[in-house]
């Protein structure tokens, strides 16, 4: 059955290291979202893509975070250099949207739990 | 962007009882959605209600929307232990900005 996959599921790294998280959206979905979830801030939208083009990444710290979609089956979120405050669960979600549709159901991946020591 | 705010933050009930969670938001919306998150998992879409709808049902779920009060409620009837999870509301505004989530209601259903 179709689902969003994310790798790795867990990542422990040291401050200053580069972290790359990957997401495979549901085949045929044209919109991909990256979220970060912490106890304090809840679920924050970091960036989203439509048809592989970045639409908005205003929620993302630009100096260290970058998000890309090298192809329709892969989205990446990179942090370089990582800091302890980046520790969170990062979710990818995908959706199928038409040009005149509003945002409807999003399908979430299982998340990547990142711990930066 | 706006953020839905759920109330209460936490709710504990006995199995078989009904659970009601509320969501308030600030600006005009296109639609409002409810999601569930089990511990350690991603969010799962439950139900969507559009701004021109007042009530919607899906199985044991009932969602209402009052656009004049900018609020929505999610009712889970005859709750089960498996309903234990966090529940989030999320809104899409008139400008079609993607979902902005609240911090959720943690529901515990005790068997």
CATH number of B5-110: 2.60.40.10
Residue A104's pLDDT is 76
Chain A, residues 54-83, CB within 8 A of chain B, namely 56
Average pLDDT of chain B is 91
pLDDT band at A100 (very low <50, low <70, confident <90, very high): low
pLDDT band at B3 (very low <50, low <70, confident <90, very high): low
Q: Which of A10-14, A43-47, B96-100 has the highest mean pLDDT?
A: A10-14
Tokens 């709808």 found at: B53
- Is pLDDT of B106 > 50? yes
Instruction: Specify the number of domains making up chain A.
Output: 1
Residues of chain B with Cβ-Cβ distance to A103 below 8 Å are 30-31, 92, 96, 98-99
> Which candidate from B99, B103, B104 shows the least CB-CB separation from A103?
B99
pLDDT band at A13 (very low <50, low <70, confident <90, very high): very high
Taking CB atoms and an 8 Å limit, are B42 and A108 in contact across chains? yes
User: A21-80: per-residue pLDDT in tens?
Assistant: 999 999 999 899 999 999 888 899 999 998 888 888 888 888 999 999 999 999 999 999
CATH code for the domain in which residue A74 is found: 2.60.40.10
Q: Are B6 and B22 in contact (CB under 8 A)?
A: yes
Lowest mean pLDDT across A90-94, B5-9, B35-39? B5-9
Question: Measured between alpha carbons, how far is A88 from A39 in angstroms, rounded to an integer?
Answer: 9
Q: Is residue A3 part of a domain?
A: no
Share of chain A above pLDDT 70, in %: 94
Question: Measured between alpha carbons, how far is A73 from B87 in angstroms, rounded to an integer?
Answer: 29
Share of chain B above pLDDT 70, in %: 96
Q: How far is B48 from chain A (nearest CA, A)?
A: 7
Q: Is residue A114 part of a domain?
A: no
What is the mean predicted confidence (pLDDT) over B71-82? Answer: 97
Domain housing A86: 15-97
Taking CB atoms and an 8 Å limit, are A42 and B45 in contact across chains? no
Question: Measured between alpha carbons, how far is B69 from A62 in angstroms, rounded to an integer?
Answer: 37
What is the mean predicted confidence (pLDDT) over B52-61? Answer: 96
More confident residue, B67 or A101: B67
Q: Which residues pair with B83 in a beta bridge?
A: none
Lowest mean pLDDT across A14-18, B40-44, B80-84? B40-44
User: How many interchain CB pairs under 8 A, A with B?
Assistant: 50
What is the mean predicted confidence (pLDDT) over B4-26? Answer: 93
Residue B1's pLDDT is 44
For an interface test with B, the pick among A40, A94, A105, A110 (most B C-beta atoms closer than 10 Å) comes out as A105
Q: Is residue A108 part of a domain?
A: no
Domain boundaries along the sequence of chain B: 5-110
Q: Which residues pair with B62 in a beta bridge?
A: B57, B75
Tokens read off for B61? 């779920």
Q: Is residue A84 part of a domain?
A: yes
């Amino acid at each position: 059955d179709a689902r969003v996959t994310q790798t790795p599921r867990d990542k422990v790294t040291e401050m200053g290291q580069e972290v790359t998280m990957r997401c495979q959206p549901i085949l045929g979905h044209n919109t991909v979202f990256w979220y970060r979830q912490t106890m304090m801030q809840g679920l924050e939208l970091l960036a989203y893509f439509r048809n592989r083009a970045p639409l908005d990444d205003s929620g993302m710290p630009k100096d260290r975070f970058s998000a890309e979609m090298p192809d329709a089956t892969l989205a990446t979120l990179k942090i370089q250099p990582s800091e302890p405050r980046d520790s969170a669960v990062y979710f990818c979600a995908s959706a199928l949207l038409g040009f005149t549709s509003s945002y409807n159901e999003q399908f979430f991946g299982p998340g990547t739990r990142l711990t930066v020591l | 962007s706006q953020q839905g705010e759920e109330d209460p933050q936490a709710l504990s009930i006995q199995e078989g009882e009904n659970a009601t969670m509320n969501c308030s938001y600030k600006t005009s919306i296109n639609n409002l959605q409810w999601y569930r998150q089990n511990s350690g998992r991603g969010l799962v879409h439950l139900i969507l209600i559009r701004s021109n709808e007042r009530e919607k049902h899906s199985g044991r779920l009932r969602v209402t929307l009052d656009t004049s009060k900018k609020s929505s409620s999610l009712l889970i009837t005859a709750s089960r232990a498996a309903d234990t999870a966090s529940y989030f509301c999320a809104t899409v505004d008139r400008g079609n900005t993607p979902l902005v989530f609240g911090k959720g209601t943690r529901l515990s259903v005790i068997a």
